[in-house]
Amino acid sequence: MAQMWWRAIWIALRLYRNPFDVALALQRWRAIMVPVRRSLPRKSALVSGRMFSSFYFPGWPSRAFDRCIEGELNRVLPARDRPPSVRVAILAMTRMCALRCEHCVEWDVLNRQEGMSAEELRSVASQLRQRGTALVFLSGGEPLQRFDVLLELTTSLAGESDVWVLSSGRGLTAERAQRLRAAGLTGVSLSLDHWDREQHDRFRGRQGTFEAVEHAARHAREAGLVVTLSLCPVRAFVSPENLRRYAEVARGLGASFIQILEPKAVGHYAGQDVALEPAQRQALEDFMVWLNRDPAAHDYPVVAYVDWDARAAGCQGGDQYVYVDTDGSLHACPFCREHPVPLVGQDADQAFSALRSGGCGVRSHAPVAQVPA
């Protein structure tokens, strides 16, 4: 990881030129990480010649990594007359999905007529690129059900941004994985909500979804893509034994990261009491620290526990982190949709400014930028 820091120093020198400003900016940037130092990994993943230290930070070396470093430095010590960059964006590009997931946040619009045309999606992608977005997660629904558009968006965003697909794994064939990799895709985040295949299939509302994750992970690895597993840990799941067994499955599937997203009372969970108890959150924190900090866990995936980071350091939703829904409206995150800001067909600067001024009403789940350790 030393190479990452040397690159960050070089970018700071290019940005500020004054050594005192360089030192000040780097000091301020590192200070942001003090509240979340307990979660910072002591390892990284090497995939296709690039090093990845965090699920929410671009891999190095890349143009996306350089842009992300520059954007973060410019935020803590402004050096250029330009609007703040958006570090992470989730773009919900389709409403189509063959599953009936227990926790689906898109439940109310699932499998209805598409809200954005391919042309409108291209416009949104262009706006994100202009905002300096370093990571774009293409979501749904199931983005693989709109494969031609997925390929086009990946091609348009890749290079300037690290591009990921958030998927159930259904439909990720070996041929599709190779085509996405050729288009510039960085990785796939595959939803896996239990180490037990029957429990996972029940949660996802369709048999065979666990097997789909297994096949998709293999195809992604063989294509040179980074693999992440995304876990929604419901109350019945959270225990040290289940988490350990999940880690074993993740390692067996060749995952570089595990993303933990706590259940929220939105979408299909609207009106339900699904929040985790303090003891369960503590179990997840212990799991994160074990995999990220224990030298004995060097061959396990890195954990990105975004709810913990946001509680420790504050939510970045609406500022460094945005969500674009299937209608083309901006939100602070997928779980906070009380004040949508129309983006398609609108002035982008005004739209992002309006979102930033509103912030996130939940304040507990937008990812924090993690400085390479």
Q: Is residue 76 part of a domain?
A: no
Closest CA to 195 of 260, 256, 250: 250
Q: Is residue 119 part of a domain?
A: yes
CATH of the domain at 290: 3.20.20.70
Q: Is residue 304 part of a domain?
A: yes
Determine the Cα–Cα distance for residues 310 and 364; give it in Å rounded to an integer: 5
Pair of tokens at residue 215: 């096949």
User: How sure is the predictor about 362, in pLDDT bands with cuts at 50, 70 and 90?
Assistant: very low
Pair of tokens at residue 63: 């143009």
* Predicted local distance difference test score (pLDDT) of residue 369: 57
Pair of tokens at residue 292: 């990220």
CA dihedral 350, 356, 357, 360 (to 10 degrees): 140
Q: Is residue 308 part of a domain?
A: yes
Pair of tokens at residue 224: 């040179």
Residue 278 has pLDDT above 50, yes or no: yes
Question: Which H or E run contains 44?
Answer: none
Residue 123 has pLDDT above 60, yes or no: yes
Q: Is residue 202 part of a domain?
A: yes
Q: Is residue 295 part of a domain?
A: yes
Determine the Cα–Cα distance for residues 43 and 171; give it in Å rounded to an integer: 31
109 three-state secondary structure: coil
Domain residues for 230?
Answer: 88-358
Q: pLDDT digit string (tens) for 31-88?
A: 988 898 889 999 999 999 999 999 999 999 999 999 999 999 998 999 877 667 899 9
Q: pLDDT digit string (tens) for 153-172?
A: 999 999 999 999 999 999 99
Determine the Cα–Cα distance for residues 243 and 318; give it in Å rounded to an integer: 31
Beta strand 302-305 with 257-260 is: parallel
Question: Which H or E run contains 288?
Answer: helix 278-293
DSSP string, 330-365: EESBTTB-SS-EE-TTS-HHHHHHHHHHH--SS-S-
Domain count, the chain: 1
Q: Is residue 68 part of a domain?
A: no
Determine the Cα–Cα distance for residues 164 and 90; give it in Å rounded to an integer: 9
Q: Is the peptide bond before 141 cis (omega within 30 degrees of 0)?
A: yes
Q: Is residue 327 part of a domain?
A: yes
Mean pLDDT of 242-261: 98
